[in-house]
Chain A
């Protein structure tokens, strides 16, 4: 059983956070022409789309944009079929010499990001890769660090963080979940 323990972020809070993240990305990347925003499916894709339109509003520049589905690159393939519905990655331009901003909802063990970085190299040789996440919940198993963080929420291993986005879940929210005794 999974129980909702509390709501960590509601709609307006998430919106403000994404605006701040967009500003931080612009601040750190003066040359936006050579920047590509890449969202990691599923939730990261929608967050990336929002950040993209925020950055375009602020900077008036057209942003390069793509999505990754890292299922084929996961290391826990034998025990865990990452997302049951595999979708295709869409990066329709070469990543050679591009500064890539990877965007995901929750940073946890770092394994998804490792898989995403591996996959990025099948599209070219990026100049740099930066990581932007809405929530960092700790418990890293790999040396991965986010460059842009919406919110740090230290969690216990029994807890889980679910990011809900309007496009999939009909609401914008960050929820703290806890597993019941039977799991």
Chain B
């Protein structure tokens, strides 16, 4: 058992506030390590970690790989496009093979919601969710929360608006669970048919008016409009979305207020966010990327350590 209350890191739905706080606090310690001339610590020397990516990913995979290497772990990468899955192997068989190679931790992304939980039944290793379908993406939410904490010094009482396609967003769901646990206020904003029915029960507010939301919020977390979904009639057109919900320069100018702009990436500049906003002073999008490495180091470190306290 690691220093957190659970063996695996599957989602923020069940993660208690103490764990979230510990991950963020330790994350800031790793941020300091990332500023050193030598950005590497030997904490996980001899540990084997496999990154299993059944779905494409650039930044999450790179971020995990960098975090693992900066902790001195040995890393194996696996991506579905170059694997035996193409030859018809099932998830279970692939994973059991990996298990036989005695891995200490598995970082997995898969397009099927719940697949990560399934994985924990096949392996002894510690399992970390790097995104399972439209379910959760807890490490992204952790880095978002760490970035908000860095900016405001706390999470409690901070007003966070999540804007865009909530329905298909695992980033949104993990953020909602985490932020509510930590006592932040959350408002979701987007086209009505992209807000899941009954989501208010999680303790969030709903708004369909982006201007009201900007007026209310301390932080805007802007989700990517998934262009691949447009073809199937979910969003009529890019221009319509931009005019109703896009975070444009004119819109921000109208409000004349301090507001922190976040985006999990990849961005569609000119659709959900204007280039001038994304590169502007209020945006902390690149800080999020750096915090992503630190917070993943923190999660790996805390999960793979044994929490027993002993004297030096």
Question: Are B309 and A84 neighbours in the complex by a CB distance under 8 Å?
Answer: yes
Report yes or no: B38 in contact with A73, Cβ–Cβ below 8 A: no
Asked if A94 lies at the interface with its beta carbon under 8 angstroms from chain B, I say: yes
CA–CA, A80 and B308, complex, Å = 6
Residues of B within 8 Å of A126, CB to CB, are: none
A72 to B298, CA, bound (A): 11
Name the one of B32, B43, B307 contacting A88, with C-beta atoms under 8 angstroms. Answer: B32
Which of A8-38 touch B at CB < 8 Å? none
* Shortest Cβ distance from residue A111 to the other chain B in the assembled complex, whole angstroms: 8
**A4–B80 Cα gap in the complex (Å)?**
60
Chain A residues with CB below 8 A from B44, complex form: 77
Contact with B along A79-90 (1 / 0, CB 8 A): 111101111111
Give CA–CA (A108, B25) in the complex, Å. Answer: 29
Contacts of A81 in B (CB 8 A): 3, 305-309
Interface presence of A153 (CB below 8 A):
no
Q: For A84, what are the chain B residues with a Cβ–Cβ distance below 8 Å?
A: 3, 309
Query: How many interface contacts (CB-CB < 8 Å) are there between A and B?
Result: 62
Partner of B312, one of A77, A112, A118: A112
Q: Which of A54-104 contact B (CB under 8 A)?
A: 69, 72-74, 77-82, 84-90, 94
* Bound CA–CA A123/B41 (angstroms): 12
What CA separation (Å) do A118 and B36 show in the bound complex?
13
User: 1/0 per position for B176-197, CB-CB distance to A under 8 A?
Assistant: 0000000000000000000000
Among B37, B38, B40, B312, residue most surrounded by chain A Cβ atoms (within 10 Å):
B312
| CB-based contact A88/B28 at 8 Å | yes
Q: With CB as the reference atom, state the residue of chain A lying closest to B28.
A: A88
A3 to B42, CA, bound (A): 35
Answer whether residue A154 sits at the interface, using C-beta atoms and an 8 A cutoff: no
Rounded to whole angstroms, the CA-CA distance of A123 and B43 in the bound complex is 17
**Whose C-beta in chain B lies nearest to the C-beta of A91?**
B36
A86 touches B29 (CB 8 A): yes
Q: When the two chains form the complex, which single residue of A78, A108, A112, A122 contacts B36, counting CB atoms closer than 8 Å?
A: A122
Contact with A along B25-57 (1 / 0, CB 8 A): 110110011001111111110000000000000
Is A89 touching B42 in the complex (CB atoms < 8 A)? no
Q: How far is the CA of A108 from the CA of B310 in the complex (A)?
A: 15
Contact string, B190-212, partner A, CB cutoff 8 A, digits 1/0? 00000000000000000000000
Which residues in B have their C-beta under 8 angstroms from that of A90? 32
Indicate the size class of the contact surface on chain B. 20 to 34
The answer to whether B281 has its CB under 8 Å from any CB of chain A is: no
- Contact A73 B28, CB 8 Å, known A79-B310, A112-B312: no
Q: Is B311 an interface residue (CB 8 A)?
A: yes
In B268-312, the 8 Å CB interface with A consists of: 301, 305-312
Known contacts A72-B43, A72-B301, A112-B312, A122 near B37 by CB under 8 Å = yes
Q: How far is the CA of A73 from the CA of B43 in the complex (A)?
A: 6
Contact B37 A80 (CB under 8 A): no
Interface residue from B26, B41, B301, B310 paired with A80 (Cβ < 8 Å): B310
Beta-carbon contact of B305 and A73 below 8 Å: no
* Residue in chain B with minimal CB distance to A87: B29
Mask of A102-132 contacts with B, CB within 8 angstroms, 1/0 = 0000001000100000110111100000000
Assembly CA distance A82 to B37 (angstroms): 24
Instruction: Return chain A residues, CB-CB under 8 Å to B26.
Output: 86
> Closest B-chain residue to A78, C-beta based?
B306
Q: State the 3 A-B residue pairs at the shortest beta-carbon distance, nearest first.
A: A122-B38, A72-B41, A88-B32
13 contacts between A and B (CB under 8 A): A72-B33, A72-B42, A73-B41, A80-B306, A80-B308, A81-B3, A81-B307, A82-B312, A86-B25, A90-B32, A108-B312, A123-B36, A160-B311
